[in-house]
Structure 1
């Protein structure tokens, strides 16, 4: 399988890429090599190969999600620029 210069230019336009003449020829050669490699892969017999679902057999080990306060109420208000007893004071947003 191979492609021509017109197809490469159309792909470049769709990808918003610009190539000068030398880079265009180089890219055409690289694209044809990739397409030839994919054609070789499609000829392989994969009848006894199971589909790959995960890349590894590892399983994520996650910690249990337990809610807890890491900062006390007083510590949270300590660095507030404006506060009113137990609350943060913020500028008025609505009239």
Structure 2
């Protein structure tokens, strides 16, 4: 019987980047997507930077907590289940520069 949760580390072995959240050291997939912020009549284009990490073993996450991704310090902007997989095995963490 296949255990998808057991295969997450194997999946990240080739192209995952180091992620440190508190005392947890794991790997994740760094991602940047175009983003638009709309307000009134104005729109600002930018990039939404996030990291996709395995959900099992994640500590409690809090907005503005420190997180290190691929050796760069960020703070947690937001988080939730990854909308692309919807399997509960992945959490997408939005990153903000401190």
Rg comparison, structure with higher value: 1
TM-score interval, smaller chain? under 0.3
Q: Between the two structures, name the one with larger relative contact order (CA 8 Å, sep ≥ 6).
A: 2
Q: Flag the structure with higher helix content.
A: 1
TM-score with structure 2 length normalisation? 0.20
